[in-house]
């Protein structure tokens, strides 16, 4: 077993398998999300990524991808059902997102969560060289830092939560709340997207575990665990370069023509998830049409809803509801060749996404709760000519950084409608001012800055962060 000085542990491996022309299975880096976020760092450091392929069954032996070693963890169909679809996505996910859907608690799911976390911890312990830095990601693996510390006290362990961390009123519902907190506290540094999340965590540690805790430091089991906010970001330069490509620019022109060359294009790109506020947004748009504020001929909406977690009941119910509503709106307000909403329940590759961002005069990112929302950041990065309005929920982590966006409370339908109209009517100068300032912020706070700040805080010797190019 080859060992590495940097090990990333995440639920998913950053690869997709695709079939090459000769029939062989190829593993390629998959785009977007957490994977996109960490990739630039891993390329600059000898590293191993421990994760799951997305399929049930034995763990395949994988080739290195772009110089990064891939270590697959096996999950059985039962593990996927009870760990990924169960405890991670039907207990923790809704609980951490303001309980906008009811979290479900099953003891069997908790057992699977422990079992699968132990498997990831074992794999990390195997692949980490003495004194290595291991960076554990997200809510699927909250027990891993504690399990790993028990196996390998020599390691420097980081944990970063990509999703929101809830206030005590919600977290206290969790039957196994103390174990989850202790699991995270196995790390040397626990990172969150927002300062409020770090505060919630410290309050909970004090309340549940009765340990001395501030928003920056928690004393537990004779160690001091550091806590902080490190808002994740994107590779701005990559998205800018993609968006500026002549073929992407040409595709954007084509897309606009295909949409009937309307005056305004409003775009939303979400995973099909009940946290994303898709139904609230559809309702706001439909009311604006019904009240005559928006004409379907002038203003089209494009809703991309990428299929997600399709075996989880709440996601199936949401998809049915969204599709019924899109059908109703198009049936009522569309005309032949002119639907009110262009609805796409599919994934897009990065260049098609960049072309869509270029077409969008308004990008509506209005989740009910979101850890960060990297789509909002990608849109800003793609607007290389400083145009485009970002309509952004106050409840997305990105709102803490993008105060120049058109900020909305997505629960307030009248406020959402008014702000959308305001963005549609805004002067080009106002739009450019806002976009320029968001782009300036993003340029400084890109993915490399995020990695550097987290890794510098974790590894105070600075050795690892120094390997990251500016």
Task: Specify the 3-state DSSP secondary structure of 282.
Answer: helix
34 binds ligand F6P (CB under 6 A): yes
Min. distance of Cβ 140 from ligand F6P in angstroms? 7
| Closest to 150 measured CA to CA, from 190, 176, 185 | 185
71 binds ligand F6P (CB under 6 A): no
Question: Could you say which residues in the range 103-142 bind ligand F6P, by CB under 6 A?
Answer: 138
Residue 264 known to be catalytic: no
345 binds ligand F6P (CB under 6 A): no
Min. distance of Cβ 371 from ligand F6P in angstroms? 6
> With contact defined as beta carbons under 8 Å apart, do 82 and 108 qualify?
yes
384 binds ligand F6P (CB under 6 A): no
Cα–Cα distance list, 418 to 14, 80, 243, 424 (Å): 40, 43, 30, 10
Min. distance of Cβ 33 from ligand F6P in angstroms? 3
Nearer to ligand F6P, 138 or 240 (CB): 138
Burial string for 20-31 (b: 16+ CB within 10 Å, else e) reads eeeeeeebebbb
Residue 280 known to be catalytic: no
Nearer to ligand F6P, 149 or 162 (CB): 162
> With contact defined as beta carbons under 8 Å apart, do 329 and 341 qualify?
yes
Of 71, 149, 162, 251, the residue at the interface with ligand F6P (CB under 6 A) is 162
Provide the token pair at 85. 């679809």
| Closest to 332 measured CA to CA, from 282, 298, 290, 304 | 290
| Closest to 413 measured CA to CA, from 366, 378, 464 | 366
Cα–Cα distance list, 245 to 240, 277, 358 (Å): 9, 32, 11
Nearer to ligand F6P, 308 or 345 (CB): 308
Query: Closest CB to ligand F6P belongs to which residue?
Result: 33
Of 104, 114, 308, 347, the residue at the interface with ligand F6P (CB under 6 A) is 308
417 binds ligand F6P (CB under 6 A): no
Distance CA(48)–CA(64), nearest Å, equals 9
Of 309, 417, 448, 452, the residue at the interface with ligand F6P (CB under 6 A) is 309
The catalytic residue positions are 162, 370
- Catalog residues that contact ligand F6P under the rule CB under 6 A: 12, 33-34, 138, 162-163, 308-309, 371
């Amino acid at each position: 077993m080859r060992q590495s000085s940097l090990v990333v542990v995440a639920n998913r491996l950053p690869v997709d398998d695709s079939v090459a022309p000769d029939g062989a299975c190829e593993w390629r880096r998959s785009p977007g999300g957490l994977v996109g976020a960490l990739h630039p760092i891993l390329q600059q450091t000898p590293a191993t990524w421990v994760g799951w392929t997305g399929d049930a069954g034995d763990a395949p032996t994988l080739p290195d991808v772009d110089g990064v070693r891939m270590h697959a963890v096996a999950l059985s169909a039962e593990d996927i059902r009870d760990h990924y679809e169960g405890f991670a996505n039907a207990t923790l996910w809704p609980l951490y997102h303001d309980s906008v859907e009811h979290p479900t608690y099953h003891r069997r799911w908790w057992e699977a969560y422990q079992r699968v976390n132990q498997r990831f911890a074992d794999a990390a312990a195997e692949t980490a060289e003495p004194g290595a830095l291991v960076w554990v990601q997200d809510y699927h693996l909250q027990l891993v830092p504690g399990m790993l510390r028990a196996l390998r006290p020599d390691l420097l362990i980081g944990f970063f939560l990509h999703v929101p961390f809830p206030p005590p009123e919600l977290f206290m519902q969790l039957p196994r709340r103390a174990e989850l907190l202790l699991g995270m506290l196995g790390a040397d540094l626990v990172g969150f997207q927002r300062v409020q999340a770090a505060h919630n965590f410290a309050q909970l540690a004090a309340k549940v575990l009765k340990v001395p805790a501030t928003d920056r430091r928690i004393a537990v089991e004779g160690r001091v665990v550091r806590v902080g906010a490190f808002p994740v970001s994107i590779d701005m330069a990559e998205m800018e370069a993609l968006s500026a490509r002549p073929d992407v620019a040409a595709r954007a022109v084509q897309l606009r023509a295909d949409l009937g060359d309307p005056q305004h294009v409003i775009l939303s790109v979400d995973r099909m998830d009940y946290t994303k506020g898709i139904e609230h947004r559809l309702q706001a748009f439909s009311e604006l049409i019904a009240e005559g504020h928006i004409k379907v001929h002038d203003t089209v909406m494009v809703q991309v809803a990428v299929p997600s977690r399709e075996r989880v009941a709440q996601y199936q119910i949401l998809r049915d509801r969204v599709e019924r509503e899109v059908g109703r709106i198009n049936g009522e307000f569309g005309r032949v060749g002119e639907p009110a909403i262009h609805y796409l329940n599919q994934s897009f590759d990065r260049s098609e996404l960049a072309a869509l961002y270029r077409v969008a005069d308004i990008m509506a990112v209005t989740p009910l709760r979101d850890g960060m929302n990297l789509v909002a950041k990608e849109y800003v990065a793609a607007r290389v000519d400083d145009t485009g309005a970002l309509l952004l929920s106050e409840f997305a982590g990105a709102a803490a950084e993008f105060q120049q966006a058109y900020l909305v409370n997505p629960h307030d339908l009248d406020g959402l409608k008014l702000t959308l109209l305001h963005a549609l009517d805004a002067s080009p100068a106002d739009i450019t001012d806002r976009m320029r300032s968001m782009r300036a912020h993003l340029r400084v706070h890109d993915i490399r800055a995020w990695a550097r700040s987290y890794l510098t805080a974790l590894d105070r010797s600075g050795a690892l962060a120094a390997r990251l190019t500016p």
